[in-house]
Structure 1
Amino acid sequence: MSQEESKTSSVILIGIDNSENCEHAFDYYAKHIHKPDNEVILFHVSDQVQIPTYFAEGMIFAADDIRQKVEELRARNKQLEKKYDAKCTEQNMKHKFFLVTEDPNGPGHAIVEAAKKHNADLIVVGSRGLGAIKRVILGSTSTYVIHHGHIPAVVCPRQ
């Protein structure tokens, strides 16, 4: 029997952020797909605090403002982790939380790479439901995951 045949559990990577769409995707996974032996990887691509790279005459570098923004971002990320930790615990899901800072190639790329790194069997993401023009201009995380992912993906449209 091969290793693939003997595998009874799956690794599921769920892309999360603070949006209702991601929460809907998580809830869909929990209700319709989750199996008790699955391991859930909660994966968040964090924003970064933007720091000015140059200063014009008269501009003031406010280190305290930057520090405050960094702390606010850390608090939001910690709150997100706690929220999904509670949701997983409530559902008795084996889970881990991973956070990466912004990927220069976009969140879709970060999700696909994380799925490879963690040997995920399935990716679950929410969709913002952008129209065709906005999707072309802004890009789409779910579209990237579908076209570049090496494993099946579930994209849950917004409600």
Structure 2
Amino acid sequence: MYERILVATDGSDLSEQAVTTAIDLAVLTRADLVAVHVVRIHAQSYFEGALLLSQEETHRTQERADVEGQRVVEAVKTRALTKGVRNVMPVTLKSNQIAEAIIEAAKQHKCGLIVMASHGRRAIQRLLMGSETMHVLTHSHTPVLVLR
């Protein structure tokens, strides 16, 4: 059915449901799993919208985000391998366009399914903040399974 499944995770409790489901699907279909975490790029200067932080502090903040992103996907890899998934690729990407990065990763890794969580924003909050999940749903040519 699926040869490769992409699961997008931010390490939150809600995205853990998506991870569990993606692992179970990968086991059932004998698919490979691509675990993706997108790390936001921190602004480097005042003109990019950064607070007035030193370059050193900005660099440390970005470094911590990068390490945390890697920790998140490595944890998915460990869980998936323990459950019997044959092949797991932990992938961290840097981008401020989260949804576009997920869509591009699915294309690049030739995934047949994207699994991700909906953060359940409603009404004005969704309008103001947008929804990465909604963007993936409306722009991806790869089928998307959304968990709530």
For the superposition of Structure 1 and Structure 2, which TM-score range results when normalised by the shorter chain? 0.7 to 0.9
Find the partner of 1:65 among 57, 62, 69.
57
* Amino acid in structure 1 at the alignment position of 2:3: S
Question: How many Å apart are 1:76 and its aligned residue?
Answer: 1.1
How many residue pairs get matched?
144
Aligned equivalent of 2:91: 98
Post-superposition offset of 1:61: 5.9
Cα distance change on mapping 1:118 and 1:32 into 2, 3 Å: closer
| Partner Cα separation in structure 1 for residue 121 and residue 128 of structure 2 | 10
> Which of residues 138, 141, 148 is equivalent to 1:147?
138
CA contact (8 A) 2:27 2:84 kept: no
Change (3 A) 1:152 1:63: closer
Q: TM-score, normalised by structure 1?
A: 0.78
Deviates more, 1:64-73 or 1:94-103: 64-73
Q: Deviations over 1:55-87 (max 9, x none)?
A: xxxxx8634323322332232123213211211
For the aligned residue pairs, the C-alpha RMSD in angstroms reads 2.3
Residues 70 and 92 in structure 2, CA contact (< 8 A), matched pair in contact too:
no
AA at the equivalent of 2:34: I
Q: How does 1:1-159 map to 2 (within 5 A)?
A: 9-31=2-24, 34-35=27-28, 37-53=30-46, 62-93=54-85, 94-103=87-96, 106-157=97-148
| Equivalence for 1:57 | none
Higher fraction of helix: 2
TM-score by length of 2: 0.84
Distance 1:42 1:146, change over 3 A: same
2:43 partner SS: coil
Larger radius of gyration: 1
Give, in angstroms, the shift of residue 9 of structure 1. 4.9
Query: 1:95 offset after TM fit, Å?
Result: 0.9
The letter for the 2-side match of 1:124 is V
Q: CA distance change for structure 1 residues 130 and 148 in 2, over 3 Å: closer, same or farther?
A: same
Distance, in Å, in 1 between the alignment partners of 2:53 and 2:147 is 42
Q: Deviations over 1:24-60 (max 9, x none)?
A: 1111223356425201111111122332235xxxxx8
Q: Which runs of 5+ in 1 are unaligned?
A: 1-7, 55-59
1:35 alignment partner, SS class: helix
Cα separation, partners in 2 of 1:87 and 1:133, compared to 1, 3 Å? same
